Structure 1
Amino acid sequence: MGSQLDLRTVLKDGTEVPIEISLSPVETEGGTMVCAAIRDIRDHQKAVVAVREAQSKAESALAAKSRFLATASHDLRQPLQSLAMLTEALLLKIEDPELADLVERQSVSLENMRSLLNSLLDISKLDAGAVNVEIEDVDLLKIIEDVCLGYQAEAEVKGLKLLVEVQNRVVRSDRNLLQQILQNLIGNAIRYTKKGNINVISNIVGDDIQIEVQDTGVGIPEDQLPHIFDEFYQIGRNPQEGSVGLGLGLAIACRIAEKLNSRIEVQSKVGKGSTFSFKLPLNHILLPKKQMPKIESPAPLRESKAVFLVDDDPAVLKSTRFRLSLQNGLEIFTASSPKEADELLDQIAPRKPDIILTDYHLGTEKNGVDIIQDIRKRTGSSIPAILLSGDTAIDVEELKRDDINVIFKPNHGSELVDAILRILAS
């Protein structure tokens, strides 16, 4: 009774088939008897096998898609990285105003391409289930400040004020996914706001904290509100504008919020602006108040600094070297493999690199992190380092603990130069 056994029986024609027998005790006047129900389970077993095979194929397809996305994320960003570096270097070298205008237009197109590529890869990763969620204690204000600092220049170009009024609290969330939600919401607010402010505020709601991104933009018609989180849906798209996007930012933010067991809500009035909000669970730890840091231009270098640059892509290596060499005070040394990096260290000895700049994927068993650790070990010095990567799945926080800065590809040459100067200054 109650045992699960693998049972078979033989039919009259001699065929052996799998069966299932259910036994139940029945009390009668003559005593206890057993009622037996015997079922032929051939069709059931075939269905089980079919489901398992389908599940196995689906898992294989998902794994293949994840591998493709990881490769595409890196390989598609490499040529864009090279183009971005060369374009910015050209802008610095060209003196003819007409040619400078043409190259500036090319630069804008490249920036649009970068934004579109990132959006497509993000939505593909979400579709493929290739996004892992790691819940931890997160300093909410620090995350919001970092995101806003990244958008301050863009806001200032449009004459917008980017204001933060957020409690300094700890939330339970995934650090990288939370940052991505904020980037999409703030970037969307700046895109659809021509004048006024972008406010990021927070309110305590029970055991949660509600984060709001408010803008004074064009607003959303009521009949379009149900569709704004759909993929490729854009409100009042003007093809004549330089940057129109794909209409994926809100769709990505919405899906990420769902992975964090949250939900993005929106309130909007045409001509007045919009407010996007979502909630996160609080860890009831109070942090000291702090002010949002101001962006200050890095100080010029007083003496020559050696930049140790490693990248296995010849085009990216050459274009990055060319762009960095235009910055006064930087002397660039390049290598295209771990072996060349070792040889280069011997060549420049006893001089040590002042900063290491390396790609993450180098087409060898060793990656960029290994290169940084090897150089630090060989020189006996904790040399500051920047890891360049097209792979957005790397653990940025863990690398920060190893004193390794991360900049994702493709990036602006000026962004890279500023990061180098800030690190050297500190």
Structure 2
Amino acid sequence: MVHQVHRALEGAEDLLADLLDISKLDQQAMQPDRVYTDLAELLEGLADEFRAVAESKGLAFRLRARPAVASTDQRMLTRIVRNLLSNAFRYTRSGGVLLSLRPRREGVALDVWDTGIGIESDKLADIFTEFHQVLPQGAGGRQGVGLGLAIVERMVNVLGYRISVTSAPGSGSRFRLLIPHAEVHPSAGPGAYSPPAPVPDHLRGTRILVLDNEPAVVESMAVLLRRWGCDVLPATSETEALSWINDGHVPQAILADFHLDHDVEGCSAIYHLRQAAGQNIPAAIISADRSDDTRAKVRTQQLPMLNKPVKPNRLRALLASLIVNH
């Protein structure tokens, strides 16, 4: 019951955050911060997030990205593609999803293909409207609240891109985002675009225990950490986490969700893990719960906290702080 209430609160928080974003976009209060971006690198990071989703649903998921650079707002573009992928997986029951990137004469084409339920032609004009539901009445399945594509369209407009949709009932859909080619002016100098910074050496080989009651969250976090060269100990319960330590695999850092199964709290789990290891292992709470009560409990235990969804750069900075300062 507690877990269900927590899920409901998360959903309400997400809805309010989406409504706030729409309001900011409509009032032109959200303006792009453009930087030269390796689009293939950006999509690889998103693909890592959704591989666990694909596996949990038994769907195929492929990324085909050719090298391409664009001057874009990385946060907005990431949000656009994440929303498109979320929709694709939500409405696909069999088959799979393809994320592709191809330079074309008119710009860089970023496509999200799926083999889902598809959309009737007379409904295509409405899919970017707030609270419009793609799933037909009585079709079953989990619905979104109908704000994801509304945010996509507004961000696409702010960035000056074009988005198009082709779809047919029972045959799936393709959303295409057309991104203008990057124009690097001579005055920008040779450093106008540079690849992402390398992973700090102090993260390579670091053993990190990831504790979350959602297997998909554990897997997506593990994929990201392994890309940074970390050794990951995945656990979906306190018991499973303790078994790693009891078997001699003591982590150098612990990342734990606050709300675990059976009313176990992450702070308590971290305490027990430290007791089992016989050492004060650096640890942090990662949770979607933004309530004052939860923040107070975490502060009492003198633990750092990040809110879900966690941005990779913030997670990397947190880990660096935990490990270097320990």
Superposition TM-score, scaled by structure 1 size: 0.49
Q: Does 1:193 find its partner at 2:136?
A: no
The answer to whether the aligner puts 1:388 opposite 2:306 as a matched pair is: yes
What is aligned with 1:325? 268
Residue 133 of structure 2, aligned match among 234, 244, 253: 234
Relative to structure 1, the CA distance from residue 268 to residue 137 in structure 2 (aligned partners, 3 Å threshold; closer, same or farther) is same
1:412 maps to what in 2? none
Residues 223 and 304 of structure 1: CA distance in aligned 2, closer, same or farther (over 3 Å) = closer
CA distance in 2, matches of 1:192, 1:356: 34
**Residue identity matched to 1:218:** I
Match of 1:303 among 225, 232, 250: 250
The equivalences for 1:156-305 within 5 A come to 156-206=55-105, 208-238=107-137, 241=140, 243-283=142-182, 295=223, 298-299=232-233, 300-301=244-245, 302-303=249-250
Give distance in 1, aligned partners of 2:271 and 2:110.
43
- Contact 1:169 1:286 (C-alpha < 8 Å) held by counterparts: no
Instruction: Tell me how far apart the structure 2 counterparts of residues 356 and 188 of structure 1 sit (CA, whole Å).
Output: 31
1:389 Cα deviation after fit: 4.3
**CA distances 1:74-117 after superposition (whole Å, capped 9, x unpaired):** xxxxxxxxx9xx63xxxxxxxxxxxxxxx5xx565455445434
Aligned-pair Cα RMSD in Å: 4.4
1:268 Cα offset (Å): 0.8
Using the alignment, how far apart are the partners of 2:102 and 2:62 within structure 1? Answer: 15
8 A Cα contact 1:168 1:286, kept in partner:
no
The aligned runs of 1:61-210 (5 Å cut-off) are 87=3, 106=5, 109-110=8-9, 112-206=11-105, 208-210=107-109
Deviation at 1:326? 2.8
Q: Distance in 2 between matches of 1:184 and 1:242?
A: 18
Q: What is the CA–CA distance in structure 2 between the aligned matches of 1:356 and 1:326, rounded to whole Å?
A: 11
Deviations, residues 208-253 of structure 1 (Å, cap 9, x unaligned): 2110000001111111111111111113344785632221111110
Structure 2 contact 166–175 (Cα < 8 Å) conserved: yes
Question: Retained in 2: the 8 A contact 1:306–1:331?
Answer: no
Q: Is the 8 A contact 2:267 2:285 kept in 1?
A: no
In structure 1, distance between residues paired with 2:131 and 2:77 = 22
Aligned length: 255
Structure-1 residue corresponding to 2:206: none
Contact 1:112–1:245 (CA<8 Å) still a contact in 2?
Answer: no
Amino acid at match of 2:306: L
Q: Which residue of 1 aligns with 2:282?
A: 354
Amino acid in structure 2 at the alignment position of 1:298: V
Supply the distance in 2 between the matched residues of 1:280 and 1:237 (Cα, whole angstroms). Answer: 31
1:233/1:362 CA distance change after superposition, 3 Å:
closer
CA shift in 2, pair 1:243/1:121, >3 Å: farther
Q: Which amino acid aligns with 2:107?
A: D
- Asked if 2 retains the 8 angstrom alpha-carbon contact of 1:264 and 1:278, the reply is yes
Percent identity of paired positions between Structure 1 and Structure 2: 28
- SS in structure 2 of the partner of residue 230 of structure 1: coil
In the other structure, the counterpart of 2:212 is none
Structure 1 unaligned regions, length at least 5: 1-82, 88-102, 288-292, 310-314, 333-350, 364-370, 376-384, 407-419
